[in-house]
Amino acid sequence: MPQFRMKTVKSRALVGCISLSAALGSVAFFASAQENRNIVSNNLYGSPGLVDMPTAEALPDGTLTTTVAQLGETTRTSISFQISERLSASFRYSALAGYTGGWDNTYFDRSFDLRYQILTESQYRPSLTLGLQDVLGTGLYSGEYLVATKTLTPGLKVTGGFGWGRFGGNNPFATTGTRPDETLEEGGIPTVDRWFRGDVAAFGGVSYAPNDRWNFKLEYSSDIYEAEDERGQINYTSPWNFGVDYHFKNGNQMSIYHAYGDTLGAQFSIAVNPRTQGVPGGFETAGLPIKPRNPSDVRDLGWTTNPNASASAQAALTQLAAKDGLIVEGLTLEAHRATVRVVNPTYNVPSQAIGRLARSMSRSMPASVEEFVIIPIATGIPMSAIVLKRSDLERLEHEAATDMLVQTSVVDAYKLAPAPNPGIYPKFTWAITPYVDASVFDPDQPVRLDAGIRAKADYEITSNIILSGSITKKLLGNLDEDPRQDESGLPRVRTDNALYSAEGDPAIEYLQLAMYGRPASQFYSRVSVGYLERMYGGLSTEILWKPVGSRLALGAELNYIQRRDYNQLFGFQDMTTEDPVSGEEFEIPHLNGHVSAYYDMGKGFHGQLDVGRYLAGDYGATITLDKEFSNGWKVGAYATFTDVTSEEFGEGSFDKGLRFWIPLSPFIGQPSRKVNPTVIQSLSRDGGARLKVRGRLYEHVREYHEPEIAKSWGRFWR
C-alpha cells in the first residue's frame, strides 16, 4: 500500500476566491456581438473540453493557459501550452482533501498530459483528437481517449468520444486487456503499461454559445469517480454534468458547474498568447531618419587629411546613439568604411538596435563612407559584424525591412572590433531590488518561498573581465521548512537547500570573477572563479563553437567545485554528506561538466542536449525544448535522465521542469532588456542536478548571430 505525504488544510481561501470571481462575473456586461461564436473553453482539467470531459478542439498556437479549478473537495491547478497548431501539453498539481479519510488531510498529486489533434474540422469532417492524461505522474488521473467535435451551426457544437482509465468507468462497452490500477508512489514514470488498456466507455456532450461571451455546456461523463466516491470526496449519483462559461475580452474564462448529481464546481482560466502579447509597435520615440548624402560629396576625401575628423565623427555618433540608449565604445574610421563597437543595454530585439545605430551613422559619418560595420559587444567580446551599405539604407528606408535584410551581411567579428576608448573601463554599476526565491508543487506544500532585499553590483575591470556579486537579506519565508529527510542513495547536493535558507541570512548569493574571450574565429570562451552560486564555489571553464550563420552550436564546460558553508559567507565545508535515514556517508565529487549541442530547429523551436557528469557524480543527459517568440517570450520544458534509478532519485523519479522567459518590454511598450526567467521543477532532488553558473555563453552569443537577427529584422526600421 503506497504511503502518502499528508498535511493539515487550514484555509478554504481558494474556494472563496473562486466564489468571488463567479459573483463578479454574474454582473458582467452581456455582450451581444455575434462576430465570433467559435469559443474554445477549458474544462476542469485545464484543457479544451466541456465540464470534466475533453473535446477535440485546440487553442490558437502558442496559447499559454493557467487554470485553477475546484470540484467538491479537490483543487486542480493546471498550466497548459499549445505547443503547435495540433500538439498541446498540460502540467497539473492537484490537492485532494481527505484522501485517506478525514477532511483535515490533503494529498498533493502531480500529473502531465499530452493531446494531439489528428484531424482539423472541415465542412463535413469533425476535428479528432487523441489524448493521454496523467502520462507522467502517479496514475491517479490516468486515462486515454479519442474524441471528435463538430460544429453544427454557429455556436452549436457536439462532442463524442471514448476512453480508457478514468474515461472507461461508466457503462463500458468493451475491454482491452488488464489495466493496473495502483497509484505509483514515486510518480514521474511514463505509465506505458496502462495505455489503452482496461474497460472502454463512451462520453459526449453539447455546447452552445449564443454570442462571443457566454457558453452553455451539457455532458455525459464516463468517469465515475469511484475512489473519490468511496472516500466521501464526491457523492456520485449521476453521469450528467452542466456548466456555463463566461469569456472575457482578454481571453480569460470563468465557469461554474453542477457535476455528478450532487457536486458544485468552479474554475478560472487566465490565457495569454505571446504572439499577440504586449503593446503593438511600442510607445518608444521614432528613430532618426536616414540623412541622404549629396552626390557631389561622396567622392570628397578631403576630410581624411584632418587629424581631428575621426574624433569629431565619433563624438557626434556617440551623442546621437546615446539618445537611442546605445553606447558607442569605439570607432575605426577609414575613407570608405566605418567600424563601430557598440553595447546595447536597451533593446531586447537586436535588429532594432542595429537599425537605430545605422541611422545615427548616416548622420555622423563623412559622406565618402559607404560601408557601415556594426559590431555588438556582450560580456566584453565582439559577437558578430553586421555589414550594411549606406546607399542601400538611403534607397530602402521606406521599403520593407526584408529588402534591407537581403542587402545585409553578418560575418564573424573575430579581430575586427575597435578597441574600447580610453576611460570607459573600469566601470562600476549596482542596484538594490526585492527578490523572491520560490519552491512550488512539492508533495508536502504547494508553495514555499523566501522574500527579501538583494544588493548586487558589477565591476568591469576591463571590457571582458568582470567582478560581480550579490548579497541578500531575507525578510520573510519558509524555505527552511523543507528538510528533505527521506533516504537517498546519492550525495545531498540539492536536498540540503533548507539548511542554506535557514542559516544564510544575510547571504552572499555569488561573488565571482569572470573573464570572457575570443580564442579563435568562431570560438568563444569563459572562465569564472569564486563563489559561483549559493551552495558551491570553485572554478568553471567553458568553450563554445558557434559560426555566425549556423543554427548549430557546440560547447563544453568543466567545473571544479567545493561546497560552501550553510551560512553562505566566505567559508567552505568538506564534500561529505550523510544520508539522514541510513546514516551512510556519500562523497560529492569535485569535478563535473558537460558537452552541449544547441540547435535552432526553425518555426520557433529550439533544442539543447547536455551530456556529462552532474553534481552528485551521476552521468546522463538533459534534453531541453523551447518554443521562442520574436518578442522575447520563451516557453519550454526539460528532462534529465542519468544512471540514477528512480528509487535512488526518490519522488518524481527523474529531474524535469518547465521554463519561462517573460520579457518586460511587451508589457510596458518601451524597449527593455529586462527578462523574468522562471523554472518550475516538479520536485528538486539530488539526481540530475547541475551547477548554476552565471554568464554561460550561448544565449549571449546567439543573440547577435544571423539566425536570431533575421528573426527580428522586422523591427530594423522601428
CA dist., res. 156 & res. 221, Å (int): 19
Mean pLDDT of 463-492: 84
**pLDDT interval class at 230 (50, 70, 90):** confident
Read off the pLDDT band of 40 (50, 70, 90). Answer: very high
pLDDT of residue 257: 97
| Parallel, antiparallel or unpaired: strands 585-587 and 576-578 | antiparallel
Pairing state between β 253-259 and 240-247: antiparallel
Given a cut of 50, is residue 103 above it in pLDDT?
no
Q: Give pLDDT, residue 12.
A: 33
Q: Which of 718, 712, 717, 632 is nearest to 284 (CA)?
A: 718
Mean pLDDT of 704-709: 94
Instruction: Report the C-alpha gap between 129 and 113 in whole angstroms.
Output: 13
Percent of the chain with pLDDT over 90: 71
Handedness of CA 222, 225, 229, 230 (dihedral sign): positive
pLDDT band at 125 (very low <50, low <70, confident <90, very high): very high
26-30, 104-108, 205-209: range with lowest mean pLDDT: 26-30
Residue type at 426 in one-letter notation? P
- Is pLDDT of 4 > 90? no
For residue range 565-617, list pLDDT tens digits in order: 999 999 999 999 988 777 889 999 999 999 999 999 999 999 999 999 999 99
pLDDT band, very low/low/confident/very high, at 22 (cuts 50, 70, 90): very low
Contact 682, 441 (CB under 8 A): yes
pLDDT over threshold 50, residue 226: yes
* Least confident range of 28-37, 102-111, 203-212, 442-451: 28-37
Residue 712 has pLDDT above 60, yes or no: yes
Q: What is the DSSP string of 150-163?
A: EEEETTEEEEEEEE
Q: Give me the pLDDT at residue 28, please.
A: 32
For the ranges 177-181, 310-314, 550-554, which has the lowest average pLDDT?
177-181
Query: Which pTM does this prediction carry?
Result: 0.89
C-alpha 587/C-alpha 608 separation (Å) is 29
Cell of 443: 508533495
Q: What pLDDT is recorded for position 1? A: 32
pLDDT higher than threshold 90 for residue 5: no
Q: What is the pLDDT of residue 20?
A: 30
User: Has residue 31 got a pLDDT over 90?
Assistant: no
The ranges assigned to domains in the chain are 18-272, 295-423, 427-462+464-707
CA-nearest of 546, 603, 480 to 62 is: 603
Segment 316-338 mean pLDDT = 97
Distance of CA 625 to the CA centre of its chain: 10
Q: What is the mean pLDDT of residues 153-166?
A: 96
pLDDT at position 3, please? 34
Model pLDDT for residues 415-430, shown as the tens digit of each residue: 999 999 999 999 999 9
Between 287 and 488, whose confidence is greater? Answer: 287
The segment with the largest mean pLDDT, out of 167-181, 407-421, 427-441, 666-680, is 407-421
Tell me what pLDDT residue 37 has.
Answer: 74
Write down the pLDDT at residue 520.
97
Beta bridge partners of 556: 543, 595
Average pLDDT of the residues in 701-710? 94
Query: SS3 for 353?
Result: helix
Q: Does domain 18-272 have CATH number 3.30.830.10?
A: no
The pLDDT tens digits of the residues spanning 161-202 come to 999 999 999 999 999 999 988 777 666 677 888 999 999 999
Whether 146 contacts 127, CB under 8 Å: no
Least Cα distance to 96 among 234, 241, 267, 256 occurs for 234
Instruction: Average the pLDDT over 195-213 and give the result.
Output: 96
Model confidence over 466-476: pLDDT tens digits? 999 999 999 99
Which candidate, 22, 5, 132, places its Cα nearest to that of 70? Answer: 22
Distances (CA, A) of 245 to 17, 50, 92, 113, 257: 17, 10, 21, 23, 9
| Overall CATH class of domain 295-423 | alpha beta
